[in-house]
Structure 1
Amino acid sequence: MTAPRLARSILLGSLLCGLSFSTASPSVAASCGSEIQGGGIVSAIIDARTLRLDDGRDVRLAGVEVVAGDANDHRPALAALIGRQVILRGDGDDPDRYGRQSAFVYLDPSARSIQSELLERGEALASGDIADKACAAELATAEAAARQARRGTWANSSIIKNVENPVDILTRVGQFTVVEGKVLSVRQAGGTIYVNFGRRWTRDFAATISRRMIPYFEAAGIAPVSLENRRVRVRGWVERRGGPRINVLRVGQIEVIGD
């Protein structure tokens, strides 16, 4: 599977709420999204990540999250899809425990995914849980463009939480969050690896990685121990276990920056 190529975009026309989604050359769709898993006409928007099709299926946008409590309700962005035919791509069409099908969503076989469009406009965050390297790279590139331009969500300077303020991170318990800072140490206790950003486990932020994940990190060229003294960005769901924690279930949740 080849890496995404830069492709020209054209407007599809004036859509609801004045928003539009773009199309691109077939090489983009070929690089991300796996097999076609059917499609349908969008009949409703359930929330900022979920569409309902005319056959009753609920489709969850794979690979993205929306910041809870954001003053911007991003449903209007998806409202532009109501009445449109969409194509679903993914590794399977099995529903999750809530009955939703997780998929990459396209307006056309040759289009960029809706996820990439939302990320590039700063209306979503990459979740970091996509295993396919080409798909993950496409989403990361789209998010980086919005971050650098400070578009949408990224216009808020507090969107990335600083490890030096663990109290601020704790305000995000139970919510998807991006945390950034320098790793102080990496330690293993039992079957868990602790990527520590401070000295006090009862107060400071840490990312936890199951020892079973080590082969996946090493295959990606990121041995957990190599994170010491490096600046790292971690994304995931904040928990409180002593201090704030994010449990890393996918390699893509950790990004080394500033080398």
Structure 2
Amino acid sequence: MPLPRPRPRPSARAATAALAALAMASALAMVPAVRPAPAVAEPAGLSCGLAEIEPATGAGATVARATVAAVPDARTLLLADGREVLLAGLAPASADTPAGRTARAALAGLVEGRPVVLAQGTPIPDRWGRTVAWVTVAGDPPGPLRLGTLQLALLAQGHARVAARVEDEACRPALRAAERAARAANLGLWADPVYAAVPAAQPAEILKRRGRFAVVVGPVDSVRESGGTIYLNFGRRWAEGFAATIPKRIERTLAVAGLVPGRLAGRRVEVRGVVEQRGGGPRIEILRAEQLALDAPGGDAPGMHEAPERRPDRPRPPRMGP
């Protein structure tokens, strides 16, 4: 029977390598695992601030960091690199009016000559080649800009209104809150009869804004449908009173946003958009959810799903059964 062959002894070099690997493994086992830092919650009210637009997850995008060279009007910035920037989400006063000139001066005082950061939550195309963006001032901004974006600062001072189109839904509640606070305090545009919110019960005053952007506030008298259109009527005389018209095709879109037209009778709401005249009375066509809101703090959507308040002129039906 043959004897088993002896195993070869490891060389000194191999033994040294094995001992080194064992020592390294033991050392690594003693090092505590590195845990990622917890996410820091952003302060309430900064939904449109840089922290929300430019988060670590990469949602949203910074499109420029530049210095503002000039401010031609209450919604436009000219950068030192030659680009033209349009402030997203705002409806300013006309540039050739006293209110528009005051708003332009206020905007220039906040950003002219300062470095700014431009960001887009949702890329918004502009047919004239302008960059439509949310703007924050880099470094140590002036007091009003500590609210967050330039848009919030202008709204809080009453130098602009929230536009009928706001692409970034996360920004909308903060914009609305800033606008409502300025309106309640009668600041800026809201002190000017040309731009102040118009009561829905004054159709003649609303018609004076025909062809222009306006904010109309009042209780909905009734909701009616005709053909492919839903009418929010703000007066008994439908042909003469103010009405907001809603294409039937967007009813589901409004419902998803918490805006149910059929449940608005008796509710006080605000409507924004361009005033038109149809059949003698003033009209605003609602094509987007942000054009319609409850006229109450934080009233973009909360409460829309509740049952409508019963009209006092409509008696309760008699109770049936025991």
Q: Normalised by the size of structure 1, how large is the TM-score? A: 0.82
Partners in 2 of 1:252 and 1:211 — Cα distance?
Answer: 17
Partners in 2 of 1:108 and 1:248 — Cα distance?
Answer: 37
Q: Which residue of 2 aligns with 1:147?
A: 183
Partners in 2 of 1:96 and 1:215 — Cα distance?
Answer: 28
2:104 is matched by which residue type in structure 1? R
Q: Which residue of 1 aligns with 2:9?
A: none
Partners in 1 of 2:53 and 2:178 — Cα distance?
Answer: 13
| 1:101-112 map, 5 Å | 101-108=131-138, 112=148
Q: Which residue of 2 aligns with 1:202?
A: 239
Q: Which residue of 2 aligns with 1:137?
A: 173
Sort the Cα spacing of 1:167 and 1:27 in 2 relative to 1 into closer, same or farther, 3 A.
closer
Question: What is the deviation of 1:210?
Answer: 2.0
Partners in 2 of 1:62 and 1:203 — Cα distance?
Answer: 35
The answer to whether the Cα contact below 8 Å between 1:41 and 1:53 also exists between their aligned partners in 2 is yes
Q: Which residue of 2 aligns with 1:46?
A: 72
2:152 is matched by which residue type in structure 1? S
Partners in 2 of 1:217 and 1:88 — Cα distance?
Answer: 30
Q: 1:5 aligns with which of 40, 43, 52?
A: 43
Q: Which residue of 2 aligns with 1:253?
A: 291
Sort the Cα spacing of 1:205 and 1:213 in 2 relative to 1 into closer, same or farther, 3 A.
same
Question: What is the deviation of 1:157?
Answer: 6.3
Q: After superposition, what is the alpha-carbon deviation per residue over 1:164-223, rounded to whole angstroms, capped at 9, x for unaligned?
A: 111110111121111011111222223222111123343211111222322222122221
Q: Which residue of 2 aligns with 1:75?
A: 104
Sort the Cα spacing of 1:118 and 1:98 in 2 relative to 1 into closer, same or farther, 3 A.
same
Q: After superposition, what is the alpha-carbon deviation per residue over 1:78-111, rounded to whole angstroms, capped at 9, x for unaligned?
A: 2122222211111455642233221111113996
Q: 2:51 aligns with which of 30, 35, 42?
A: 30
| 1:143-182 map, 5 Å | 143-156=179-192, 159-182=196-219
Q: Which residue of 1 aligns with 2:269?
A: 232
Partners in 1 of 2:48 and 2:68 — Cα distance?
Answer: 25
The answer to whether the Cα contact below 8 Å between 2:48 and 2:134 also exists between their aligned partners in 1 is no
Sort the Cα spacing of 1:149 and 1:115 in 2 relative to 1 into closer, same or farther, 3 A.
same
User: Where in structure 1 are there 5+ consecutive unaligned residues?
Assistant: 8-23
Partners in 2 of 1:43 and 1:247 — Cα distance?
Answer: 38
Report the secondary structure of 2:98's partner residue: coil
Verify: 1:89 aligned to 2:116, yes or no.
no
Partners in 2 of 1:201 and 1:152 — Cα distance?
Answer: 33
Report the secondary structure of 2:51's partner residue: helix
Question: What is the deviation of 1:66?
Answer: 1.7
Report the secondary structure of 2:216's partner residue: strand
The answer to whether the Cα contact below 8 Å between 1:50 and 1:61 also exists between their aligned partners in 2 is yes
| 1:50-65 map, 5 Å | 50-65=76-91
Partners in 1 of 2:215 and 2:184 — Cα distance?
Answer: 15
Q: Which residue of 1 aligns with 2:159?
A: 123
Q: Which residue of 2 aligns with 1:16?
A: none
Percent identity reads 42
Question: What is the deviation of 1:114?
Answer: 0.3
Partners in 2 of 1:198 and 1:241 — Cα distance?
Answer: 15
Question: What is the deviation of 1:6?
Answer: 4.2
Q: Which has the larger radius of gyration?
A: 2
The answer to whether the Cα contact below 8 Å between 2:53 and 2:120 also exists between their aligned partners in 1 is no
Report the secondary structure of 1:154's partner residue: helix
The answer to whether the Cα contact below 8 Å between 2:214 and 2:272 also exists between their aligned partners in 1 is yes
Partners in 1 of 2:49 and 2:82 — Cα distance?
Answer: 29
User: Where in structure 2 are there 5+ consecutive unaligned residues?
Assistant: 1-39, 55-59, 141-145, 297-302, 304-322
Q: Which residue of 2 aligns with 1:114?
A: 150
Q: 2:225 aligns with which of 176, 182, 188?
A: 188
Q: Normalised by the size of structure 2, how large is the TM-score? A: 0.67
Partners in 2 of 1:256 and 1:229 — Cα distance?
Answer: 11
